[in-house]
Structure 1
Amino acid sequence: MASTARPMTPMDLLKFNPCNLDHLTETYNIGFYLDYFTKWPNLCKVIENENGQIEAYILGKVEASPFPAPIEPYDPSLKIYQKKFSNYLPWHAHITCLTVAPSARRLGHATKLSEALEQVGDEQDAWFVDLFVRVENEAAIKLYEKMGYSIFRRISDHYNDGSDAFDMRKPLKRDKQRKTVRPNGENIKIDPTEVW
């Protein structure tokens, strides 16, 4: 019997510890997870094996910057968005957490879960999907690149231990001309205060 994907529930918080064993995985407080269940229940999923063990999970959301676009309608090709407002976030999907238990890696779970979020992003007319990943997590970066993500920028001191993060993006169907991504994003370094 194969592993199956299903919606995540609050009871899963008591069973997903094997997924969080990797030192590169962020673990949040219970209130954080419950907030996601409340606001974006369809973007919280687990993959469970035939024994009921959680092998992977994802928390996602669809949102925009909390302030309106400086120029409406938003057009990422305008020079003002490339220069003055380069950190403005239009309507987009975001992978907050995607983790796979060490024993279940290389089974396609990360791809399956991220594709489910990308589908919702397309259904809601989002520009792209993005995520943050530690710069030292080379295995995850290569996996995301294989799935079509590219580095958009580097965020200094993003994590509590002072580690930097890469903000990686994958354009969705709305961005047919790939205006929301750019080359050499690893060389564009920003302060964490510029990320809301």
Structure 2
Amino acid sequence: MSLRAMRVQDLWNLAPCNLDPLTETYSYSFYCDYMIKWPLLCRVLEGPSGTIEAYILGKVEDSPFPPPNPPYDPDTNTDDRYLPWHAHITAVTVAPKYRRMGHATRLVRALEKAADVQNAWFVDLFVRVDNKVAIEFYKKLGYSVFRRIPGYYNEKDDAFDMRKPLKRDKDRKHIRENGENNIVDAEDVW
């Protein structure tokens, strides 16, 4: 088993991983954009036969507008929509044949480690509210619900924005209790 950076030629071998109806699939240009911009956050688990058994797509970013009191400080930021430098899990998926083997945990931990190296405050992700298996998986890894976003997905399904603080957020100021009850409009999510 090899954990390695995703390569362009891998795109023709992701189909077994994308069979789950809850897995978002993207265009080739989308995957390539991620691989070019965030190569350390786009990884695959390749089996001994060369089969792609699982992959993760991630990025690091912040909001496109500056905080009111630069440099950013969680105590002085007054705009609840502003996102500081953080990592985001765009997709993580495991081919059905290779589930329950720890692949997703290994990929998420690799992304968290890379995000710590890049001095991110936290890792976040969006998950459908009715995807109980994924929500429990992320909770076991230390993620918690930060907010609920009604109608976030194309099918108008609600999403949870889940977060896990990283080393930079020593005081855990980017998470909250009872995030399931903090409801925000999809238009306010960047």
Distance 2:111 2:70 in 1: 26
Q: Match for residue 170 of structure 2?
A: 176
Between 69-78 and 47-56, the greater mean CA deviation after superposition: 69-78
Name the structure 2 match of 1:132.
Answer: 126
TM-score by structure 2 length?
0.96
Q: Which runs of 5+ in 2 are unaligned?
A: none
How far apart are residue 77 of structure 1 and its match? 3.2
- Partners in 1 of 2:46 and 2:123 — Cα distance? 24
Q: How does 1:28-177 map to 2 (within 5 A)?
A: 28-78=26-76, 81=78, 85-177=79-171
* Per-residue CA distance 1:43-90 (angstroms, 9 max, x = gap): 111001111111110011111001111122322234x53xxx122100
**What residue in structure 1 maps to residue 180 of structure 2?**
186
Query: Following TM superposition, by how much is the alpha carbon of 1:102 offset from its aligned partner in structure 2, in angstroms?
Result: 1.4
* CA-to-aligned-CA distance 1:135-164 (integer Å, 9 cap, x gap): 111000000000000000111211111111
Distance 1:174 1:181 in 2: 13
- Count of residues in Structure 1 that have an aligned counterpart in Structure 2: 190
Deviation above 3 Å: which 4+ runs of structure 1?
none
Q: Report the Cα distance in structure 2 between the residues aligned to 1:118 and 1:138, rounded to whole angstroms.
A: 22
Counterparts of 1:148 and 1:164, CA distance in 2: 21
Gaps of 5+ in 1: none
Alignment-mate amino acid for residue 126 of structure 1 = A
Identity %: 62
Tell me how far apart the structure 2 counterparts of residues 10 and 164 of structure 1 sit (CA, whole Å): 32
1:78-137: per-residue Cα shift (whole Å, max 9, x none)? 4x53xxx12210000111111111111111111111111111111111100001111111
What is the TM-score when the length of structure 1 is the normalising length?
A: 0.93
